[in-house]
Amino acid sequence: MAIEEDLSQWEIASTGKMISYGIGYVIINFLLGGAFLTIWYYYEVEIGVNVALMGIAFGIFAIWNMLNDPLVGYLTDKPLKWTKRWGLRAPWVVISAIPILIFFLLLWIPPDPETTPEITLFLWFIIMTCLFDTFFSIYNDHVYGGFTNQFPSEYERRRAFAIATLLMGGLMTGMNVVGSALIVYGDRSSFITVAIFYVIVLAILNVILFAGIKESEEMKQMFITAYEKAEKIGFFKTMKKALGTKNFRVSLAGYTCWSIAAVLASVSGIFIYKDVWQLPLSYSIPPLLIGLAAFLGAIPFWSNYARKHGFKKCYWTCMVLYGIGFLPMLFISREMGFPLFYILIIIFGFIGALPYSGIVIMLMPVASDTYDEVATKIGQRVDATMIGLRTFFFRVAYFVQAIVFFTVMTITAYNPDPKAVQTPLAVWGIRVQAALIPAIIFIVMGLIFRQFYTLEGAEKEALVKKLKDMKLYR
């Protein structure tokens, strides 16, 4: 259930600051999701890297991500000489922003595959993704860490992430629509054009983000004072205390499962349109736009639902409903005839977007509550470290995706020729990785979250009081 809050003694964060952080989430989630939706397809089908090598490359990428995220968060999660003037988190966001875009663009511009050995292309992919992710980890940890500190109350978290969800839905869908319209199967240059477009837009969005991440003098002093007073504990002890917190573990499990299911479904998208429905990727635009309308339209409903019933109930309910929404996609096929099957794609895409909106709204508020709980155990804010640990588990999604894609495509003998017509077995393999596995994951995890997560009602009210008493509130 939701809690009663007295906010009269606290300065509520401005809408402008909420918009700036919302833009930060657009950048992060687009780079994690939308921008990478076609990267496996691009390297396997357009560049010509063998599926086995792609599986190994993604595995190495995932392992590097898993190792560097919590460590980078820990190393940068303490006051430095610049903290009193510039803040704890804002400088790291600015420092890492440009390298992210440079290495992202280089990932899409490998050496000429016609004259370059396959092993070189394989190594290029690994090097560029790992360099990209090193800076992305810093950026991600401190944008997310900033959210937890800038918006400490339930009201602010609910409102700020509702705004962020609106921005993510609109801007990410808009960029995906342009990308889908420009991509042509068999034309590598079209993918590079799309990557350049993404980098330009993301650079502009970063400027908006920078304008709103300034930390107040009160917040800077809170970081410095809490760090000076707290017991200095090492990286592994910090991890032990965090993972010893049950609600944090449950939240991590939910986020990990969401990540795995979402990555499998998203990365499979281009294969669904090309090989299952045999449609140009531009046909994904109407479902995207109609799904966006559902996604955005449902935000007020789920925000109000969370206000009345609390973060927990909103989160697990939406996860179960969203999982069920994947099941019809197992059976929609061209054999139903055009336009019937295409109309069904749009209808069920619309229905699925409704609960997905609620999941996205709750992701950061639920996580932020668990970071608060960990902070009371450690005696200082360690949000970047927690986010690094959370991202460690997010990277499991890429590792699982690599294993699932390699296994399914090998067993079903998927043909990587851009002009190939896949066998019925290969088509079913794509359906399984795109719909069946995500459906099972969402439904099961939603029920687990309902059973084991307890940070609500009186328990959450006591946590907020303790944060204020420890002067860790904002």
**To the nearest whole percent, how much of the chain has pLDDT over 70?**
94
User: Is the pLDDT reported for residue 5 higher than 60?
Assistant: no
Instruction: State the pLDDT at residue 418.
Output: 77
As given in the structure block, the two tokens for residue 83 are 């903290």
Q: What is the largest CA-CA distance in the chain?
A: 69
User: Is the pLDDT reported for residue 219 higher than 80?
Assistant: no
Instruction: State the pLDDT at residue 34.
Output: 63
Q: Which amino acid is at 82?
A: W
Kindly calculate the radius of gyration of the chain based on its CA atoms and give it in whole angstroms: 22
Q: Is 10 exposed, middle or buried, given 0-12, 13-18 or 19+ CB atoms closer than 10 A?
A: middle
Q: Which residue carries 């190939």 as its tokens?
A: 420
CATH code assigned to 15-469 = 1.20.1250.20
Triad 125, 126, 132: Cα angle to 5°:
90
Determine contact, residues 73/388, Cβ cutoff 8 Å. Answer: yes
- The tens digit of pLDDT for each residue in 67-123 reads 777 777 777 777 777 777 787 788 889 889 999 999 999 999 999 988 999 999 999
Tell me what the mean pLDDT of segment 195-220 comes to: 88
| Least confident range of 13-22, 267-276, 334-343, 393-402 | 393-402
Confidence grade of residue 51 (pLDDT, cut at 50, 70, 90): confident
User: Is the pLDDT reported for residue 217 higher than 80?
Assistant: no
Please report, for the chain, the start and end positions of each structural domain, with discontinuous segments joined by +.
15-469
- The tens digit of pLDDT for each residue in 227-271 reads 676 666 777 787 788 888 899 899 888 888 888 888 888 888 888
User: Is the pLDDT reported for residue 6 higher than 80?
Assistant: no
CB proximity list for 117: less than 8 A, separation 6 or greater: none
Q: Which residue carries 């944008």 as its tokens?
A: 143
User: Is the pLDDT reported for residue 411 higher than 70?
Assistant: yes
Determine contact, residues 387/145, Cβ cutoff 8 Å. Answer: yes
Determine contact, residues 55/409, Cβ cutoff 8 Å. Answer: no
Rounded (10°) CA dihedral 249, 250, 253, 257:
-160
Confidence grade of residue 10 (pLDDT, cut at 50, 70, 90): low
What are the backbone angles phi and psi of residue 115, rounded to the nearest 5°? -120, 0
Determine contact, residues 161/177, Cβ cutoff 8 Å. Answer: no
Number of other CB atoms surrounding residue 203 within 10 Å: 13
Confidence grade of residue 197 (pLDDT, cut at 50, 70, 90): very high
